[in-house]
Every structure is written in structure tokens, then in C-alpha cells.
Amino acid sequence: MSNLFLINVLLAFAWCAVTGSFSILNLMFGFVVSSGALWLTREQHQTNKYFKRVWLVLGLIGLFLKELVLSVFRVAWLVVRPRQSYRPSFVSFPLTVDRPHEITLLANLITLTPGTLSVDISDDAATLYIHCIDVEDPDKLREDIAQGFERKIMEALR
Amino acid sequence: MINYITGALLIIGALFNLIAAIGLLRFPDVFTRMHAASKAGTLGSGLMLVAIALHAGELSISSKALAAVVFFLITAPVSAHLLARAAYVAGVEPWKGTVLDQLKGHYTDKEGHLSADDETSD
Amino acid sequence: MSESDFFDLSIIIAFWLMIAASLLTFARLVLGPTLPDRVLSLDMLMTLAIGFIAIFTLLTGVYAYLDMAIALGLVGFLATIAFARFILNQASCPEIIDETKDYKQTAKDAGSSE
């Protein structure tokens, strides 16, 4: 998988060398062209994961942007509504992902999504502690994160 | 046309920043305030940088502005997390209306070492 | 209203909204009551400064200010991290973290010594 990415970058540089222009735009265009070339020869590679993964990562970015905008509107509503009542709480979340970069990504995504903020992780990296601004049912929140971001991250990065 | 879009993005971004500031003033404790600052504030200034990226119409400037947006989206949760953790370890008490605190009692010392959670079911 | 009129007006409106936001953030900086609250409002002021730079870039059309926004973001991030480390190191001295605690403590001390 990382080999294919390396080949892709090398082909992009080759494109720049052939066309004689090393501008960013040309480099990006070369990257697109060479990934197209790799896609055409996909039968010859051992794995088809590289192209699937591109879509999964793009889907993760899309989900993240959507949740960020939703989260801002939710916090905005909490701020401007006249009656102030929240049920803030610290909730523990048992992690399924175990690799450091996946945990980092998950924690950052949780912080930028509706009403949740990751506070700390236990020393054995098995439990994430989350602060929620307004939570009705902690179990439902755990379920949402496990089925939403955690599953998407596992799909995109494994 | 592009002027309308950038103008609207500027106003929306400034509104989000204002909401974040109101939240900073209105919310009851440091943890809830962090929600307002880390989300609404980041998106507010981020939208303004996106407005620059659209208005410039030049790839070198747009890419710089978008790189700045990505940079803020990466750093804002990290600083919010560090600050929340430091506040909790330092003994800043959560608001009295906090309904559930599963973090309580899990810190083994003042350095911020955190033991694993045994009873997640309750 | 023409396009450029709308653009100029939106810059002015955004400026006023941002000024209101900075005043409110500054109020939180003064009110406290704990050190993390103040650090948080400093962080927020940094975010607001980046917004101001963005508006100013669009007002003047000098895109070199954008570099300043990126640099400010970096420095502000490092400053917040440094403050968080500081708070963590001062965890054993509650009078630095929380002013209100300090007043109660000194009042109690004064009461007990009398």
C-alpha cells in the first residue's frame, strides 16, 4: 500500500520532469494522472486496497466536516438559548482501536464533534475519558462513537 | 458573485466567533467553556481563512490559506485536550450540576497518571 | 446594492462582531476565576486575532498578512501547551490555580490564627 503511494509520487515527479515545469499545480496534475495510470494497471498489483482507501479517507473527511458544522450549531444553540440548563458529565469510553495514530485521530475527531471533548486517556491506552456538555444517556453516546467514528477509522486505516 | 460568498463567509465566521465569546462568558465551568472556544472559535476563524482562499483566486495564496485552516483544525483539539486535562489534574472542580463523573478517583497521583477503568458498564 | 458595496459592508460588520467578541473574551480573562479559564480566554483571543488578520487581509488585499496568521497560530498553540504544562506543574499549589480558593484559605488561616 505505501509502495503504491511512493510509486504514485515518483510518477508525479516524472510527469513534472517530462513536461519541464515543477509548479505545484503541475505536480498535483501529475499526481492525478499517475494515480489514473496506476488505476488502469490495478489488476497487476497484489492489492486493490489503495483505491478503496482513497474513498474511505475522503468519506472520513466528509463525515468530519459535517459533524464539525453540526457541532458548532449545537453549541451555538446551547449558548444563545435563554434557559440555561445542561447535564455535563465525564464519560469513559472503552477503546477498540489500539494503534497510537488511530487513537490520536479518534480523540481529535471526538473533540471537534457535537458536545464532546476528549479529556484524557488511561495509561494503558484502553479507555478514553470524554467530557460531554449535555448528555442524556452515556451508553447511547458510547454506542454512537463506536458505530460512527471508530468504525470509520478502522475501515479507512486498516 | 465571489464577493457575495466571501462577504457572507466573513459575517458567518465573525458570528461564530461572537457566539464562542458569549459561550465563554455564559457557561458555568472551564470544561463547558472549552466546548464553546474549541469548536465555534476554530470554525469561526477557519471560515474567515476560507473566505481569503476564495477571494484570492490564486493557487499559491489559496493553498496557503487552506493549509492554515487544516493546521487550526489539527491544533485546536490538541490544545483543548491538554488544557482540559491540566485543569482536571490541577483540581479545578467541575460545575456542581455535573451529573456523572466517571473520571473521578481514577488519577493515582498528582502527576496525572491515570489508572484503567474497570467498571465501564455502570 | 452592488457586489463591492456588499463586500465592504460585510467587512465592517465582521469587524464590529469581532470587536464585540474580543470584549466578551477579555471580560472572561479579567473575571477568571481559575487559571485554566484565563488560559482558555488567551487561546480564544489568539483565535480572534487570526480572524482579525483575515479580515485585514481582505480589507487591504495584501496577502502577505496571511503568513502572520499562520505564524500566530503556531506560536499561540505552543503558548497554550506551555501554559497547560505550567498548570500541571502547579497542581500542588491550589492558590495559583484558583484565586477564589486562595481567598477562602487565607480567610480561614486568619480566622484560625486569631
Nearest CA distance, C62 vs chain B (angstrom): 10
B14 and A CB contact within 8 Å: no
**Segment B79-93, tens digit of pLDDT:** 888 888 888 887 777
Between CA A31 and CA A26 the distance in angstroms is 8
Residue of chain B with shortest Cα separation from A78: B23
Please state, rounded to an integer, the average pLDDT across all residues of chain A: 78
Residue of chain A with shortest Cα separation from B104: A90
As given in the structure block, the three cell numbers for residue C20 are: 464585540
**Segment B39-67, tens digit of pLDDT:** 888 888 889 999 888 888 777 888 888 88
Q: Answer yes or no: is pLDDT of A44 > 80.
A: no
Band (pLDDT 50/70/90 cuts) for residue B121 is very low
Domain residue ranges of chain B, discontinuous segments joined by +:
2-89
* Cβ–Cβ under 8 Å, residues B89 and C88: yes
As given in the structure block, the three cell numbers for residue A7 are: 510509486
Strand partners, A127: A94
ipTM for this model:
0.82
Q: Which of residues 6-35 of B touch C (CB under 8 A)?
A: 6-8, 10-11, 13-15, 17-18, 20-22, 24-25, 30, 33-34
Question: DSSP string spanning A41-81?
Answer: TGGGSS-SHHHHHHHHHHHHHHHHHHHHHHHHHHHHHHHH-
* Cβ–Cβ under 8 Å, residues C2 and B3: no
Domain residue ranges of chain C, discontinuous segments joined by +:
3-113
B43 and C CB contact within 8 Å: no
DSSP B114: B
**Segment C64-80, tens digit of pLDDT:** 888 888 898 889 889 98
Domain residue ranges of chain A, discontinuous segments joined by +:
2-44, 49-157
Is the CATH code 1.10.3470 the one for domain C3-113?
Answer: no
Residue of chain B with shortest Cα separation from A126: B116
C41 contacts: CB under 8 Å, gap ≥ 6: B24, B37, C25, C26, C28, C29
Question: DSSP string spanning A94-157?
Answer: E----SHHHHHHHHHHHHTSTTEEEEEE-TTS-EEEEEESS-S-HHHHHHHHIIIIIHHHHHHH
As given in the structure block, the three cell numbers for residue B67 are: 493549509
Between CA A112 and CA A116 the distance in angstroms is 7
Band (pLDDT 50/70/90 cuts) for residue A2 is low
